[in-house]
Amino acid sequence: MAGRVAWTERLFSLQIEEPEIRFIAGQFASLALPAPEGSVEPMVARPYSFVNAPGNVPSSAPHEFLITEVPQGTLSPRLACLREGDDIWIGSAYGFFVCDEVPAAPVLWMMATGTGIAPFLSMLRTDEPWQKFGRVVLVHGVRWAEELVYPDIIVAVQRERGGRFFYAPFVSREAVDCGAVNRERENHPCFSGRITAALASGKLEKAVGHVIDKEMAQVMLCGNPAMVEEVQGLLGERGMRRHRKRAPGQITVEAYW
Ligand X SMILES: NC(=O)c1ccc[n+]([C@@H]2O[C@H](COP(=O)([O-])OP(=O)(O)OC[C@H]3O[C@@H](n4cnc5c(N)ncnc54)[C@H](OP(=O)(O)O)[C@@H]3O)[C@@H](O)[C@H]2O)c1
Binding residues for ligand FAD, rule: CB under 6 A, are 28, 46-49, 65-68, 70, 72-76, 115, 118, 254, 256-257
Is residue 255 involved in binding ligand X (CB under 6 A)?
no
Q: How far is the CB of 254 from ligand X (least distance, A)?
A: 13
Is residue 122 involved in binding ligand X (CB under 6 A)?
no
Helix (H, G, I), strand (E, B), or coil: what is residue 161?
helix
Nearer to ligand FAD, 28 or 109 (CB): 28
Q: Residue 243 CB: number of other CB atoms within 10 A? A: 18
- DSSP class per residue in 4-51: EEESSSSEEEEEE--TT----TT-EEEEEEEPPTT-SSSEEEEEEEB-
According to DSSP, the residues that pair with 93 across neighbouring strands are 29
- Give the separation between CA 107 and CA 215, rounded to whole angstroms: 10
Q: How far is the CB of 190 from ligand FAD (least distance, A)?
A: 23
State which residue has the least CB distance to ligand FAD.
Answer: 73
Interface of this chain with ligand X, residues 157 to 196, rule: CB under 6 A: 172-173, 194-196
Nearer to ligand FAD, 37 or 257 (CB): 257
Phi, then psi, of 11 in degrees rounded to 5: -125, 125
CA 100 to chain centre: 16
| Beta carbons within 8 Å of 144's beta carbon, 6+ residues apart | 8, 171, 173, 174
Q: How far is the CB of 71 from ligand FAD (least distance, A)?
A: 9
Among ligand FAD, ligand X, none, the one that 136 touches (CB under a kind-dependent 5 to 8 A) is: none
> Which DSSP state fits 61?
P
Nearer to ligand X, 32 or 195 (CB): 195
Is residue 214 involved in binding ligand X (CB under 6 A)?
no
Q: How far is the CB of 226 from ligand X (least distance, A)?
A: 3
CA 185 to chain centre: 18
- Give the separation between CA 215 and CA 164, rounded to whole angstroms: 18
Among ligand X, ligand FAD, none, the one that 52 touches (CB under a kind-dependent 5 to 8 A) is: none
- Give the separation between CA 28 and CA 49, rounded to whole angstroms: 4
Nearer to ligand FAD, 66 or 190 (CB): 66
Q: How far is the CB of 121 from ligand X (least distance, A)?
A: 15
Among ligand FAD, ligand X, none, the one that 28 touches (CB under a kind-dependent 5 to 8 A) is: ligand FAD
Among 3, 4, 10, 61, binds ligand X (CB under 6 A): 10
Segment (H or E) for 254: strand 251-255
Residues found near ligand X in the complex (CB under 6 A): 10, 68, 70-71, 113-114, 141-144, 147, 172-173, 194-196, 224, 226-227, 230
